[in-house]
Amino acid sequence: MINNLLVILVAVICFIQLILYIWSKRHMYLLSLKLPGPISLPFIGCAYKFLFIETEDLFKEILSVINSYPKNPVIRFWLGPNLFLIFKDPVHVEKILISTKVIAKADLLKYLKTFAGEGLITGSGIEWKVARKHIQPLYGQKFVTESIGISNKHINRFMEKLMERVDKPKSCIHHAIHLCVADIIGEAILGVEIGAQKGRNKEFIDASIKYYDVVYPRLVKPWLQNDFIFSMSHLKDKTDVYKATMNKFMDSVVENTRRIKKTGKSVVIDNFKPSINDLDKIFMENSKVLNYQNYLHNLITLYAASEDTVAQIAAATCFCLGMYPECQEKATEEIRLLVGANKTNITFDDVIKLDYLDKCVKEALRLFPIAPFIARKVVSDFQIDKWTLPSNVSILISIFSLHLNPKEWEHPMEFYPEHFDFEAVEKRHPYSFIPFSAGPRGCIGKLYAQTSIKVLLVNILQRFKIEADGKYVDIYKHLRADISVRSKIGFPVKLTRRKL
């Protein structure tokens, strides 16, 4: 009798807890009923769509869901018990990104925090606010202009590497660019010689790009978000190794900086003072808010975001110019006329003259956005058109969908730099193109990234003619994503010596 009563009591308590849980989320459920979206199952929501999907096909499946509702500006998607609202209309996106009610990062991104902590990209609290306030001014035009000498030095070495590939069969250009950019960022920001092009620090170089592969599956597969299940997966061991490698390297960066500062000097490379000098000062002066681990996390963020963005978009632009030779010749002619065919030490003044090359880079950013999605969380009820978004609802902005919207782009599935002619830009909603995000959380290194990409491209186009197969519509079938949009087949190109 007592056992029966105990069972009944436990059942009643569980039922009450379930009712309270449902009641606490009633606003989400009511909103969800008003919006289109795929069928949701108990406990896992729509995550069943990812059950038997390989990591490299997750992006394709997410796009399939979004593209299934072409006429709906908002789509609901339950990922486990979490409601995501997917937005792809530039009018809505603008309201979201400029609002302080949607400035917090989605809870889902806590898995990226394993590596980046409360850094510039993943943080939302006081640490993020303090760090961003002090770090953002470091990467303005002064830094960009003065650091180009570092870029030129490593690019000259990179050109020698590319010479070895002249007239050879097609191969992916990304890896070579990646090593060059790692050397540039290592000196310009961290103040250390990484020596990636010389084969040094391979463990760190690999970890800094492979850690995306262990984070992304956990973001979209709810069962991997369970710590116990994750601890038994092969991803856990890789996570631990990559995390330890990256932290160890950044720890050595700080140690090197402070060892030099103890002598009363600053870190100086080729008469240039890397930003690590100012970064170290910022974190020492704000140590009550920004602890040492936060320092390492921000260094990881600055390095990884800068390196991946510059390398990825430079490689993507090369690939696109190879597929669209008429655009390549137009960009090359502009360089020949405004910079010269043989100039090796490119300056900021050289770069800002190159209007057509700038359009080519922007078009590559449109087709291969650095981040295909932005995940945010509503911190207090937020009205957008006829919908009231309750607090704790997660928002997913589909940058990839914005960038391929046929209503905004004349040739959405083509590499067409003329999309960025003045007249075309004036007709288009400004939030149709947001490769560096926008609003209070916009990228602080936008100018540095764009300039670095163009310096690389000028050097490449001065010396080489690029050939690549197909058109964008062909490579679209092979796109994948971790944090950035990439190609499963890489960016294979053939190089021949250019005669200007």
pLDDT tens string 88-146: 999 999 999 998 888 888 777 777 777 777 888 777 778 888 989 999 999 999 999 99
Can you tell me the distance from the alpha carbon of 384 to that of 205, in angstroms, rounded to the nearest whole number? 43
SS3 content of the chain, % helix, strand, coil (to 5): 60, 10, 30
- The average pLDDT across 453-475 equals 96
Tell me which of 429 and 123 has the higher pLDDT.
429
Domain contains 54: no
| pLDDT value, residue 24 | 63
Tell me which of 434 and 113 has the higher pLDDT.
434
CA distances from 144 to 141, 280, 341 (A): 5, 19, 23
| pLDDT value, residue 368 | 96
pLDDT at 43 over 80: no
Span 362-407, pLDDT tens digits: 999 999 999 899 989 888 888 998 888 888 889 999 999 999 999 9
pLDDT at 20 over 70: no
Domain contains 405: yes
Q: Using alpha carbons only, what angle is made at residue 303 by residues 56 and 316, rounded to the nearest 5 degrees?
A: 45
Domain contains 52: no
Mean pLDDT taken over the chain: 90
For 288, residues 6+ apart whose C-beta sits below 8 A from its C-beta are: none
| pLDDT value, residue 22 | 62
pLDDT at 18 over 90: no
- The average pLDDT across 226-239 equals 86
Q: Which amino acid is at 142?
A: K
Span 53-69, pLDDT tens digits: 887 888 898 899 999 99
Instruction: Give 23's pLDDT tier (boundaries 50, 70, 90).
Output: low
Domain contains 463: yes
Domain contains 42: no
Span 171-215, pLDDT tens digits: 999 999 999 999 999 999 999 999 999 999 999 999 988 887 888
What is the number of domains present in the chain?
Answer: 1
For the record, the structure tokens of 450 come out as 């764009």
Q: Using alpha carbons only, what angle is made at residue 308 by residues 302 and 312, rounded to the nearest 5 degrees?
A: 150
- From edge to edge, which strands make up the β-sheet containing 104-105? 74-79, 82-87, 394-398, 373-377, 104-105
CA distances from 224 to 230, 238, 354 (A): 5, 14, 47
Least confident of 40-49, 233-242, 261-270, 290-299: 40-49
Domain contains 28: no
pLDDT at 41 over 80: yes
For the record, the structure tokens of 331 come out as 């960009």
Instruction: Give 21's pLDDT tier (boundaries 50, 70, 90).
Output: low
- The average pLDDT across 461-484 equals 92
Q: Which amino acid is at 433?
A: F
Coil, strand or helix at 396:
strand
Domain contains 383: yes
| pLDDT value, residue 331 | 97
CA distances from 480 to 55, 369, 475, 483, 488 (A): 9, 12, 10, 10, 6
* Domain membership of residue 449 as a residue range: 72-497
Q: Look up the CATH number of the domain holding residue 96.
A: 1.10.630.10
Domain contains 24: no
Tell me which of 34 and 7 has the higher pLDDT.
34
Can you tell me the distance from the alpha carbon of 399 to that of 412, in angstroms, rounded to the nearest whole number? 13
Task: Tell whether 180 is in a known binding site.
Answer: no
